[in-house]
Amino acid sequence: MKTIGNLAKLGVEPVFSAIREALAGTAPQFVPRETGQIISVSTGIASVSGLNGVGSEELLAFPGGAFGIAFNVDETEIGVVLLGDYAHLRAGDEVERTGCVIDVGVGDGVLGRVIDPLGRPLDGKGAVLTASRLPIERPAAAIMDRAPVVEPLQTGLKVIDALIPIGRGQRELILGDRRTGKTAIALDTILNQRGKDVVCVYCAIGQRASAIAKLIDELRENGAMDYSVVVVAEGNDPPGLTYIAPYAATSIAEHFMEAGRDVLIVYDDLTQHARAYRELSLLLRRPPGREAFPGDIFYIHSRLLERSTHLRDGLGGGSLTALPIIETEAQDIAAYIPTNLISITDGQIYLSPSLFELGVLPAVDVGRSVSRVGGKAQRASFRAVAGDLKLAYAQFEELETFARFGARLDEETRTTIEHGKRIRACLKQNELSPVPVAEQVAILLALSEGLLDHVPVEKMGEAQSALGRAAATMPGELQARLESANKLDDADRAAIIAMARKAVQSLASANSGAA
C-alpha cells in the first residue's frame, strides 16, 4: 500500500482508477469443454470413450494439432477417422469435441494454389487466404433450383465434342483400364478452358506424388493454374484424408458456382476413393457387402455427384460440371464400382486398351461411350456437321471386322471402309493440343462432305494441319457464329466448304494423280 501511495504521488492515479473500474465490471467466463480419451489407435482410425454428447461426423481435436471425424457413434465408444499425421497419438491421450463439422476455406484465394483436403498449402507459397469457409458435406441443390443443361463445355477433343458432347452442369464418367489416357482427357479439357471464364478444380485422390507433380507442371507451363485449384490427397496419406478429398474439392467448386460462375471439377479417381472408404469401414468393423465394400458405397458417390448441376438464373445461373474418373480391370465395365457410377452419371467415355495399343489416341471407344445430356447443349454448327458421323463410324467398325475374314467386298462397302479410315484419322489427336471450335467444324465438315476421301490416310495429319491454318484465317464474324447457338446457314456452310476444298486440294490431287 505504501508503494501504491508513492506511485499515486507520481501522477499514475488515473491509471489505477481505470484498472479498478475495468476489474469491477469483469466477471470470469467459463467455457464448457467435453473431453474423452483414446482407447486405441489403429491404421487411420482411433477408438475414443467419454464423449457421450458427440454427434455423427463431428470434428474432434487430438493432441499435437491432429483432427478426426466421429464416424461410428456407439453407446460405449466412438470410432474416429483420423486426418493427417497420427503417429504421435497414444492410448490415454485426451480428445476434445469441437462442436462443429469439418470445413474448408473457399474463395478467390485458392485459385492457382495446390492444397490438401484440409485447405493447407502444399506448394510452398505460404498460407492460403480465404474469405469464408464451407462444410465439406453439403446438401445438393433442390430440383426446383436446377436448370436444364443448355451450354456446351468444349473439351478441345474432336472425338468428344463431336460425338460425345458434354454440357455445363453435366456429370460425364471417364473409365478405362490403367494407362489408357483417362487423366490426359481431363487435362486437355482443363487446358481448353483457358480464356473461357471457367474455373477448374482438379482433385487428385490417392495418386502417386510423381504423377501429381508432373500434372501440376503441365498446368503451369500451359498457363492453366491461373484459373485452377489442385486438391491433393497422395497415395501415402491416411485413408481419412483420401476419403474427404472429393467432398472438400466440391465445396470449393460450389462456392464459385453459387457466385454465378461456370466450374469444371475432375475427380481422379473415384476407384481410390471407394477403396479408402472400404478400408475405413472394415477397420471400423462395419458389415461388408459385395467385394467387401460397405452397403452405403453407392450413397457416398451419389451424394457427391448430385452436387454437380446447373443452377437456375434466379440463383446466379452458375454450373458445376463433373468429370469423375474410374479405373477398370481387364476391361470389365460391369464391375461393382463402375456400374454404380454409370448409373449415377449422365453418360460415360470409355477408353479401350485395344485402341490405345493401335495408336488411336485418344483411345475413345465410340460404340461404348454415350452422353445422355450433352447432345441438347451441343452447338447447332456441330450438330450440322457431325450428325451422321457416329453412325458412319459405327458402320465402318462393323464392316472392318467383317472384311478381316477375307470376304469379297462390293464397291459401296469399300467406299464406306475408306471413308471410315479417314474418320478415325480425323478423330486422332495429340495430347496437350486442344482444337478450337472453328478448326473442329472445318475438319468435320470437310470429312462429312467427302473432301478428305481422296487424301491418303498417311497424309491426313497434313490435311488437318492445312484445314487448321485455313480455319484460323476465317473472318471473326464467322468464327463467332460457329461458337454461338445459331444454326449453320447455307452461306456459311458454302464458305467453309470452299475454304476446306482449297486447303486440301493439293493433297487430294496428288493422290488422284498417283492413282
| 372 has catalytic annotation | yes
Distance CA 384, CA 397 (A): 23
CA geometry: angle 149, 174, 145, nearest 5 deg = 25
* 97: three-class secondary structure by DSSP: strand
* Contact criterion met (CB below 8 Å) for 147 and 312: yes
Torsional class of 294: left (φ above 0), alpha (ψ -120 to 50), beta (otherwise) = beta
Q: DSSP labels for 348-376? A: EEEEPHHHHHHT-SS-B-GGG-EESSHHH
Residues 6+ apart with CB under 8 A from 286: 72, 294
Residues 288/281, Cβ–Cβ less than 8 Å:
yes
CA geometry: angle 35, 38, 41, nearest 5 deg = 150
Per DSSP, what are the bridge partners of residue 200? 228, 264
Cα–Cα distances (Å) from 453 to 161, 388, 409, in that order, read: 22, 16, 18
Could you tell me the three cell numbers for 311?
Answer: 443452377
- Element containing residue 108 per DSSP (H, E): none
The per-type count for the chain, helices as H runs and strands as E runs, is 18, 16
Total Cβ atoms within 10 A of residue 176: 29
CA dihedral 22→23→25→28, nearest 10 degrees, is 130
Choosing from 133, 146, 312, 372, the catalytic residue is: 372
Q: Give the Cα separation of 59 and 244 in Å (integer).
A: 12
Distance of CA 42 to the CA centre of its chain: 32
- Edge-to-edge strands of the sheet including 114-115? 114-115, 228-234, 198-207, 262-268, 319-327, 173-176, 347-351, 370-371
Percent helix / strand / coil, the chain, rounded to 5: 45, 20, 35
Could you give the angle at which helices 336-344 and 297-305 cross, rounded to 10 degrees? 30
Write down the residue that cell numbers 461411350 correspond to: 369
Reading the block at residue 226, the C-alpha cell is 491461373
- Catalytically annotated residues: 372
